């Protein structure tokens, strides 16, 4: 009898404790993360630039499973278009492109990671949207890749329009804008469909290849990279529908509330486009001998300093160590089947959207 | 000698100063502990809120009433414009479905395996041991992924458009549709109002429970066999038949049919591969643990009980059913509660095979801009509710089973 009473009392206590902790557990997680970030990455209001300089390393959130944009090689090194822009930031801010610590992140934790100060900058094929800008405490910087969502189907099916996929299973990654666009576009056209949602492309791809899904929707760049991979490994021929169903501007993201750091990252990144526009690349930027005053400013001749908190030769560091935008693009993107010609990623003087403010 | 020992004793009777008084120290230390806990909790929450405010992240729960904007896998009827809390309800339902059927599968398999391990039959005992060692030593996530991908994605089943349709002999109706994505089995569909039907049925169950009690009393009074399970089932079935005909046959069979474009299963009950993977994987995984618990509990029942059963010429089944298992269950129940709780919590791994349970849906929702902290606080509350409910029910059962302590 005594035991019963004790038990009842314990249960009551547990219930009370549980009710209290339900509201607190979330708190514990964040504060720890924020505290952890304070000494390492340091996303505390302002001061990220100083914190990064003090730590002598840029902590960069990346994708580790997207060919062309961010992959880990067999030897554990990261490479890809997004990864190169992490290197650009390190070269611009610290003068050494190798001073990057990569943090592989899944789509659904990337913003939390940024908010908590776990990473200094997020360059992980992340689409700039109003909701994310407004609600995630994130600042989206210069768009480095203009993408759009497409739909891939096995070529043998002969499907060419979204209507061909009525009622079909469509593979999509969770926690992405892709999922929202898919629902919105199919909903608007009144096409019923069934999403099959995966957390990771490593699980999505076999499901698609084995015919569990009839369509695979994602950013066109991703589809192109997987089309190349599937066909290259002897899989069925794939077809990417001509229709682009969304705008997906991808670029670096930093935490809200630290404009000094945001400027440093943005101008480091934009230097790659400026160099391209000036016709400077990793081979010739060190030996420029002309007298174009804009270029001389850009190269930091006579210690020209616009007050961005970067060293005057940051552009030289960025371009010699990593390359200009076109070099970075050519290194990674044509391999997955996309070209610069005719795409919005071309320089504005050739009809693209790559346009940066003047450096003067 | 006596005077010497009495002297200090008398001094002890005087009340010590309050800071050495055990009763005061007890109360004060507990109060202090509570205060410290609350202070830390307050500090953490305060820290969280000020950090979120600094970053301009909303701390409200208003997002629950905004539109979901994403479709839910295998829930074609879910309107993406419905509010987020409705999406959460779908997730809770799916967590429940996987947990509920997983628990049933785990219990049945666990009992079989536990008894088999103690079998005198060499082959049966070895097979059960193999089963336990296999499943107990693999992480549940791996088993789920194995089921999802080895059984369905890469498994022997055809793709949707080439589904196997097993017909009821001599009929065009399917009793089973099998492919690597969704299975269909016959179900029921309402063709009229069901209020009367349910009312009669519930009344029938109450009558059946009454009959159960009467039969038990009868048995206790006369010692004649009670057959209460038979009586109970009989009454329930009779009321079911009665309800069906009295209310004008308001329920009809619904046969699973593949749609003309061969991309949908219409009618019947539909099970998707994610649910099947999670339920089977967790059911079989937990069964390996339950099997060990049950084996241990059976071994803990005194050998003499079994021998006494033998001496009474009980069959092996009767010995287990009436002598050993009732005592073993008493020992097995507390650790079994833990296993059930684990199973329900492990359903959160279903996200690996795209099963739309509450964790998976919340992750999607958070990825789409809904605030992470508030969302996961809700998820935690959901799991807590599930766990506490299971604990509550099983603890009541446990108390009923417990021996009265003398």
Is residue B86 scored above 90 in pLDDT?
A: yes
Q: Is residue A203 part of a domain?
A: yes
Of the residues A172, A175, A209, A257, the best mutation for testing chain B's interface (the one with the most B CB atoms within 10 Å of its CB) is: A175
Cβ contact (<8 Å) for B354 and A198? Answer: yes
- Pull the structure tokens for residue A88: 């650009």
Q: Mapping DSSP to helix (H, G, I), strand (E, B) and coil, where does residue B187 land?
A: strand
Question: What's the rounded Cα separation, in Å, for the pair A100 and B281?
Answer: 41
Cβ contact (<8 Å) for B180 and A210? Answer: yes
Note down the domain range covering A322: 48-146+250-343
- Spans of chain A below 50 pLDDT: 1-2, 6, 10, 13-45
Q: How far is A326 from chain B (nearest CA, A)?
A: 31
Cβ contact (<8 Å) for B405 and A111? Answer: no
Confidence of residue B9 (pLDDT cuts 50, 70, 90): low
DSSP string of A24-73, one letter each residue: HHHHHHHHHHHHHHHHTT--SSS-HHHHHHHHT-EEEEE-SEETTTEEE-
* Neighboring chain A residues of B72 at a CB cutoff of 8 Å: 195
Cβ contact (<8 Å) for B55 and A20? Answer: no
- Among the candidates A216, A246, A276, a domain finishes at A246
- Pull the structure tokens for residue A134: 């407004």
Whether B72 and B361 have beta carbons less than 8 Å apart is answered as yes
User: Is A175 in the B-facing interface, judged by CB distances under 8 Å?
Assistant: yes
Question: How many CB pairs below 8 Å do chains A and B form together?
Answer: 167
Whether B400 and B326 have beta carbons less than 8 Å apart is answered as no
- Among the candidates A195, A211, A246, a domain finishes at A246
User: A174 and A101, same structural domain?
Assistant: no
User: A235 and A175, same structural domain?
Assistant: yes
For residue A108, give the chain B residue with the closest CA.
B367
Looking up tokens 């949207």 gives A129
State residue A8's pLDDT score: 53
* Neighboring chain B residues of A20 at a CB cutoff of 8 Å: 41
Whether B367 and A180 have beta carbons less than 8 Å apart is answered as no
CATH of the domain at A92: 3.40.190.10
**CB-nearest partner of B48 from A26, A176, A196:** A26
* Partners of residue B271 on adjacent β-strands: B183
Q: How far is B307 from chain A (nearest CA, A)?
A: 32
- CA-to-CA dists, residue A53 to A119, A255, A306, angstroms: 14, 17, 19
State residue A31's pLDDT score: 37
Count the neighbouring beta carbons within 10 Å of the beta carbon of residue B178.
Answer: 17
**CB-nearest partner of A30 from B263, B373, B381:** B373
> Buried (b) or exposed (e) across B337-376, using 16+ Cβ within 10 A?
bebbbbbbbbbbbbbbbbbbbbbbbbbbbbbbbbbbbbbb
Question: What's the rounded Cα separation, in Å, for the pair B183 and B195?
Answer: 30
User: A53 and A106, same structural domain?
Assistant: yes
Q: Is residue A142 part of a domain?
A: yes
User: A160 and A114, same structural domain?
Assistant: no
Helix (H) or strand (E) holding A293, with range, is helix A293-298
User: A263 and A142, same structural domain?
Assistant: yes
User: A327 and A256, same structural domain?
Assistant: yes
* Neighboring chain B residues of A195 at a CB cutoff of 8 Å: 70-73
Cβ contact (<8 Å) for B159 and A198? Answer: no
Is residue B403 scored above 80 in pLDDT?
A: no
Higher-confidence position of B317 and B57: B317
Question: What's the rounded Cα separation, in Å, for the pair A103 and A61?
Answer: 5
Question: What's the rounded Cα separation, in Å, for the pair B138 and B317?
Answer: 33
Cβ contact (<8 Å) for A108 and B56? Answer: no
Which tens digits make up the pLDDT trace of B338-374?
Answer: 999 999 999 999 988 989 999 999 988 888 888 888 9
Please state the domain count of chain A: 2
Whether A104 and A219 have beta carbons less than 8 Å apart is answered as no
Backbone angles phi, psi at A66, to 5 degrees: -125, 100
Angle at B53 between CA B48 and CA B54, to 5 degrees: 100
State residue B57's pLDDT score: 77
Nearest to A81 by CA among A68, A93, A98: A68
Q: Is residue A90 part of a domain?
A: yes
* Per-domain boundaries in chain B: 2-54, 84-186+255-401, 192-251
User: A72 and A104, same structural domain?
Assistant: yes
Looking up tokens 């414009």 gives B81
Question: What's the rounded Cα separation, in Å, for the pair A184 and A161?
Answer: 16
Long-range contacts, stretch B54-61, CB < 8 angstroms, 24+ apart: B54/A45, B54/A257, B55/A115, B55/A137, B55/A255, B55/A256, B55/A257, B56/A137, B56/A256, B56/A257, B57/A115, B57/A135, B57/A136, B57/A137, B57/B371, B58/A135, B58/B371, B59/B371, B59/B373, B59/B374, B60/B374, B61/B374
- Pull the structure tokens for residue B367: 């990825």
What's the whole-number mean pLDDT along residues B42-54? 88
Is residue B285 scored above 90 in pLDDT?
A: yes
Fold (CATH) for B84-186+255-401: MetI-like fold (1.10.3720)
User: A264 and A228, same structural domain?
Assistant: no
**CB-nearest partner of A3 from B73, B263, B405:** B405
Q: How far is B272 from chain A (nearest CA, A)?
A: 11
- Pull the structure tokens for residue A23: 């509201």
Question: What's the rounded Cα separation, in Å, for the pair A156 and A133?
Answer: 41
State residue A34's pLDDT score: 39
Q: Is residue A338 part of a domain?
A: yes
Cβ contact (<8 Å) for A256 and B56? Answer: yes
User: A256 and A338, same structural domain?
Assistant: yes
State residue A336's pLDDT score: 84
Question: What's the rounded Cα separation, in Å, for the pair B279 and B183?
Answer: 14
Q: Is residue A360 part of a domain?
A: no
State residue A46's pLDDT score: 62
Whether B127 and B116 have beta carbons less than 8 Å apart is answered as yes
Q: Mapping DSSP to helix (H, G, I), strand (E, B) and coil, where does residue A169 land?
A: strand
- CA-to-CA dists, residue B80 to A180, A187, A213, angstroms: 9, 8, 20
Cβ contact (<8 Å) for B364 and A197? Answer: yes
How many DSSP H helices and E strands does chain B contain? 13, 8
Cβ contact (<8 Å) for B399 and A4? Answer: yes
Question: What's the rounded Cα separation, in Å, for the pair B27 and B34?
Answer: 11
Which tens digits make up the pLDDT trace of B130-163?
Answer: 999 999 999 999 999 999 999 998 989 998 888 8
Q: Mapping DSSP to helix (H, G, I), strand (E, B) and coil, where does residue B169 land?
A: coil
Q: Is residue A352 part of a domain?
A: no
Q: How far is B262 from chain A (nearest CA, A)?
A: 9
Count the neighbouring beta carbons within 10 Å of the beta carbon of residue B232.
Answer: 18
Question: What's the rounded Cα separation, in Å, for the pair A69 and A66?
Answer: 6
Nearest to A84 by CA among A73, A104, A68, A95: A68
* Neighboring chain A residues of B354 at a CB cutoff of 8 Å: 196-198, 203, 207
For residue B367, give the chain A residue with the closest CA.
A175
Count the neighbouring beta carbons within 10 Å of the beta carbon of residue A175.
Answer: 24
Of the residues B51, B159, B371, the best mutation for testing chain A's interface (the one with the most A CB atoms within 10 Å of its CB) is: B51
- CA-to-CA dists, residue A119 to A57, A76, B44, B289, B337, angstroms: 11, 19, 22, 41, 41
User: A231 and A106, same structural domain?
Assistant: no
User: A177 and A153, same structural domain?
Assistant: yes
Q: How far is B299 from chain A (nearest CA, A)?
A: 26
Which tens digits make up the pLDDT trace of B239-280?
Answer: 999 988 888 888 888 888 888 888 888 888 889 999 999 999
- CA-to-CA dists, residue B321 to B120, B309, B324, B331, B342, angstroms: 17, 11, 7, 15, 28
Is residue B319 scored above 60 in pLDDT?
A: yes
State residue A18's pLDDT score: 45
* Neighboring chain B residues of A131 at a CB cutoff of 8 Å: 368-369
Long-range contacts, stretch B171-179, CB < 8 angstroms, 24+ apart: B173/B253, B173/B255, B174/B255, B174/B256, B174/B257, B174/B258, B174/B268, B175/B255, B176/B256, B177/B256, B177/B258, B177/B265, B177/B268
* Partners of residue B67 on adjacent β-strands: B83
* Neighboring chain A residues of B154 at a CB cutoff of 8 Å: 206, 210
What's the whole-number mean pLDDT along residues B41-64? 87
- Pull the structure tokens for residue A204: 């999505």
Return the minimum-mean-pLDDT range out of A79-83, B8-12, B124-128, B402-406: B8-12
User: A222 and A133, same structural domain?
Assistant: no
Of the residues A63, A211, A257, the best mutation for testing chain B's interface (the one with the most B CB atoms within 10 Å of its CB) is: A211
**CB-nearest partner of A18 from B52, B259, B388:** B388
User: Is A4 in the B-facing interface, judged by CB distances under 8 Å?
Assistant: yes
Higher-confidence position of A342 and B378: B378
Complex prediction ipTM: 0.78
């Amino acid at each position: 009898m005594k035991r019963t009473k004790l038990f009842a009392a314990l249960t009551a206590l547990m219930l009370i404790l549980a009710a209290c902790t339900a509201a607190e557990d979330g708190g514990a997680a964040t504060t720890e993360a924020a505290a952890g970030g304070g000494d390492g990455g340091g996303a505390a209001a302002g001061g990220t630039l100083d914190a990064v300089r003090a730590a002598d390393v840029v902590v960069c959130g990346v994708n580790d499973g997207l060919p062309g944009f961010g992959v880990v090689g067999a030897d554990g090194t990261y490479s890809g278009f997004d990864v190169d822009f992490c290197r650009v930031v390190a070269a611009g801010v610290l003068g050494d492109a190798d001073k990057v610590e990569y943090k592989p992140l899944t789509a659904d934790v990337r913003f939390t990671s940024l908010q908590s100060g776990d990473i200094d900058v997020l360059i992980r094929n992340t689409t700039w949207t109003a909701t994310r800008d407004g609600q995630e405490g994130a600042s989206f910087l210069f768009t480095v890749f203009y993408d759009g969502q497409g739909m891939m189907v096995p070529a043998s099916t002969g499907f060419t329009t979204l209507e061909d996929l009525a009622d079909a299973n469509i593979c999509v990654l969770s926690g992405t804008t892709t999922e929202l666009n898919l629902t919105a576009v199919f909903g608007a056209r009144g096409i019923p469909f069934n999403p099959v949602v995966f957390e990771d492309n490593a699980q999505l791809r076999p499901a698609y290849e084995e015919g569990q899904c009839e369509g695979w929707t994602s950013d066109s760049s991703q589809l192109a990279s997987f089309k190349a991979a599937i066909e290259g490994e002897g899989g069925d021929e794939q077809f990417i529908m001509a229709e682009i169903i969304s705008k997906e501007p991808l670029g670096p993201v930093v935490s809200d509330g630290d404009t000094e750091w945001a400027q440093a990252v943005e101008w480091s990144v934009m230097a790659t486009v400026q160099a391209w526009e000036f016709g400077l690349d990793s081979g010739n930027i060190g030996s420029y001998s002309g007298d174009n005053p804009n270029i001389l400013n850009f190269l930091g001749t006579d210690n020209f300093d616009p007050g961005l908190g970067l060293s005057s030769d940051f552009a030289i560091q960025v371009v010699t160590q990593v390359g200009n935008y076109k070099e970075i693009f050519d290194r990674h993107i044509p391999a997955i089947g996309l070209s610069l010609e005719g795409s919005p990623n071309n320089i504005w003087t050739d009809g693209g959207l790559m346009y940066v403010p003047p450096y003067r | 000698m006596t005077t010497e020992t009495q002297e200090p004793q008398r001094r002890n009777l005087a009340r010590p100063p309050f800071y050495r008084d055990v009763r005061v120290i007890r109360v004060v230390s507990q109060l202090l502990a509570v205060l410290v806990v609350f202070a830390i909790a307050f500090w953490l929450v305060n820290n969280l809120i000020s950090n979120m405010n600094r970053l301009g992240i909303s701390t409200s729960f208003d997002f629950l009433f905004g539109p979901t904007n994403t479709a839910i896998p295998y829930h074609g009827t879910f309107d993406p414009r419905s509010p987020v809390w409705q999406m959460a309800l779908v997730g809770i339902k799916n967590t429940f479905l996987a947990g509920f059927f997983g628990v049933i599968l785990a219990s049945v398999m666990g009992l079989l395996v536990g008894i088999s391990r103690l079998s005198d039959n060499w082959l049966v005992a070895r097979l059960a041991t193999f089963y336990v060692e296999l499943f107990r030593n693999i992480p549940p996530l791996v088993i789920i992924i194995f089921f999802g991908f080895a059984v369905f994605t890469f498994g022997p089943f055809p793709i949707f458009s080439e589904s196997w349709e097993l017909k009821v002999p001599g009929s065009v109706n399917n009793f089973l549709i099998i492919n690597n994505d969704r299975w269909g089995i016959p179900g029921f569909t309402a063709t009229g109002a069901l209020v009367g039907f349910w009312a009669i049925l519930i009344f029938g169950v109450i009558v059946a429970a009454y009959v159960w009690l009467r039969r038990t009393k009868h048995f206790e009074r006369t010692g004649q066999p009670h057959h209460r399970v038979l009586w109970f089932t009989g009454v329930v079935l009779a009321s079911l038949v009665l309800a069906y005909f009295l209310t004008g046959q308001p329920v009809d069979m619904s046969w699973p049919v593949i749609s003309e474009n061969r991309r949908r299963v219409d009618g019947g009950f539909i099970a998707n591969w994610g649910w099947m993977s999670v339920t089977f994987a967790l059911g079989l995984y937990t069964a390996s643990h339950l099997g060990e618990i049950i084996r241990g509990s059976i071994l803990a029942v005194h050998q003499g009980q079994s021998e006494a059963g033998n001496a009474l010429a009980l069959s092996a089944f009767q010995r287990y059913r009436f002598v050993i298992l009732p005592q073993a269950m008493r020992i097995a129940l507390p650790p079994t509660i833990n296993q059930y709780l684990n199973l329900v919590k492990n359903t959160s791994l279903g996200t690996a095979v795209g099963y739309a349970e509450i964790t998976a849906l919340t992750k999607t929702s958070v990825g789409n801009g809904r605030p992470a902290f508030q969302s996961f606080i809700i998820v935690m509350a959901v799991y807590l509710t599930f766990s506490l409910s299971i604990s509550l029910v099983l603890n009541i059962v446990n108390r009923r089973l417990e021996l009265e302590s003398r």
